[in-house]
Amino acid sequence: MLDQIVDAVEYRTPEGIAAAISRLIRSGTLSAGDRLPTVRDVAAILGVSPATVSNAWQALSGVGLITSRGRAGSYVLQAATAWMPPHFGELAGSHVSARLDLSTGTPDGELLPDLTAALTRVPTRADTASYLSAPVLPELELQLRASWPYPVAALTIVDGALDAISRALETLVRYGDRVVVENPGFPPFFDLLEHLGVERIPVDVDAEGLRPDQLARALLLNPVAIILQPRAHNPTGASFTAERVRELARVLRAHEHLGDPVVIEDDHSGEISSAPAFSIGTWLPQRTLHVRSYAKSHGPDLRIAAIGGPELLIDRIVARRMLGPGWTSRMLQTILHDLLTASSSVSTVHDARRIYQARQRQLAEALVAHGLPHPPSDGINTWIPVADEKAAIVTLAAGGIRVAAGSTFAAGGPPAGSGPDHGTGQFLRVTAGRVRDEFDQVGALLASAARAT
């Protein structure tokens, strides 16, 4: 095992050693129940101090990959998410139990609309003509078009935002192509691109979204697509301003002589975002695929999203799906249409938007009160700069709070900050939307963890 660890370690720092052990566990090289070598043995063979290895072990324990049994040694814990892709798995692969889990990036179930009335409108028998019917219910398409951020040529329904982005990428990219991604960004996008053999070009995100100056430089590398999140950016909680989206459109137009990458917009939290719906499609409709997901607002298990864009691209996506799942169940489409039009569910989602906004504000105020300047974020997540990521996670775990490590979201190099003064550094993603009360207590713990080293 010592030889395997030596071979896996690329950087002989606490972070590098912890990352290497994490890769060995996720790949199955180290199995649940395996006893790790002692800190002193690993330190000796790597030529580092025992404190360096101890810090790495502490970080692995903090995210639930290993556990210490005192003099009996440290052991690999049973992985609950071995079936997940690696970047996605880093979000879900912790075994740490917590009084308050703010690591999930998922909505508060109590704020989702009741499905009872919508379920009564589902046909009691399945439609046998579904194979030849249009893939989108006409009444749902009309409702979606009325709420779309710009007039769209075509749209279809798919099985969630990630399905939409996966279908779009499979239509657009080939092995060896380049795709612009946000830094920090959503880890499953990285998994998708790696699966397709695509090189990602990271572009930093600030308080208003993707940075135009860095996008201009990225376009010199001739990417075929750009994936971005216009609202409630995961992980930072940033949303586009009107000026920023106009500037991004100007940059894209100014570089048209280099190519015409397709912009894929993931509006995953649109219905619960407090920011307006801005889209590059307003200026570049022939180069934009806009995705609207209803997982955060109406329920992740509905597995339903809409994707709109130029007819040529949408038709290719629909045609490819006909050779796989075919279409998204019209029963689910009926439920979504009811949820988008019934006054009770519309009111519930409106209230959820207001409550999430209030929770973000209350948590931000608590952080400021405890000495950590922090503006309110949009949606359910927020991005907190810390002095030391691992120390912060361990400190919060001791206080019964679980968060997501900022390094998980790095598209290349250190993750960028969510504000103009943050620059690069170490961060935590905190699902602020799941803090229902105790804002002062949670704020105090987060502020203390941010200073921990």
pLDDT digits (tens, 9 = 90+) for 204-218: 999 999 999 999 999
Q: Is residue 120 part of a domain?
A: no
Q: Is residue 232 part of a domain?
A: yes
Q: What is the pLDDT of residues 17-30, one digit of tens each?
A: 988 888 788 767 88
User: What is this structure's pTM?
Assistant: 0.81
Q: Is the pLDDT of residue 420 over 50?
A: no
pLDDT of residue 73: 86
372 with 267, same domain: the answer is no
Choose between 416 and 354: higher pLDDT: 354
Q: Is the pLDDT of residue 143 over 60?
A: yes
Choose between 53 and 1: higher pLDDT: 53
Q: Is residue 116 part of a domain?
A: no
**d(Cα 17, Cα 59) in Å, to the nearest integer?**
10
Q: What's at 186, amino acid-wise?
A: F
Q: Is residue 328 part of a domain?
A: yes
pLDDT of residue 391: 87
Domain that holds residue 250: 126-342
371 with 439, same domain: the answer is yes
Query: Among 227, 186, 193, which residue's Cα sits nearest to residue 210?
Result: 227
195 with 286, same domain: the answer is yes
**Tokens representing residue 442 in the block:** 């949670």
Q: What is the CATH number of the domain that holds 176?
A: 3.40.640.10
Q: What is the pLDDT of residues 257-314, one digit of tens each?
A: 888 999 999 999 999 999 999 999 999 999 999 999 999 999 999 999 999 999 999 9
351 with 412, same domain: the answer is yes
Q: What is the CATH number of the domain that holds 52?
A: 1.10.10.10
136 with 242, same domain: the answer is yes
24 with 140, same domain: the answer is no
Give the end of a domain, one of 315, 342, 369.
Answer: 342
Q: Is the pLDDT of residue 398 over 90?
A: no
294 with 244, same domain: the answer is yes
pLDDT of residue 86: 62
**Tokens representing residue 239 in the block:** 């949303």
- Count of domains observed in the chain: 3
205 with 310, same domain: the answer is yes
Q: Is residue 160 part of a domain?
A: yes
Q: Is the pLDDT of residue 95 over 70?
A: no
87 pLDDT band (50/70/90 cuts)? low
Q: Is residue 117 part of a domain?
A: no
415 pLDDT band (50/70/90 cuts)? low
Summarize the confidence of residues 72-90 as an average pLDDT.
66
217 with 331, same domain: the answer is yes
Q: What is the pLDDT of residues 230-250, one digit of tens each?
A: 999 999 999 999 999 999 999
**d(Cα 224, Cα 194) in Å, to the nearest integer?**
15
Whether a cis peptide bond, with omega within 30° of 0, leads into 184 is: yes
DSSP string, 249-267: HHHHHHTGGG--PEEEEEE
Choose between 387 and 92: higher pLDDT: 387
**% of the chain at pLDDT higher than 90:** 70
Q: Is residue 8 part of a domain?
A: yes
pLDDT of residue 34: 87
196 with 270, same domain: the answer is yes
388 with 414, same domain: the answer is yes
Q: Is residue 119 part of a domain?
A: no
Q: What is the CATH number of the domain that holds 411?
A: 3.90.1150.10
359 with 274, same domain: the answer is no
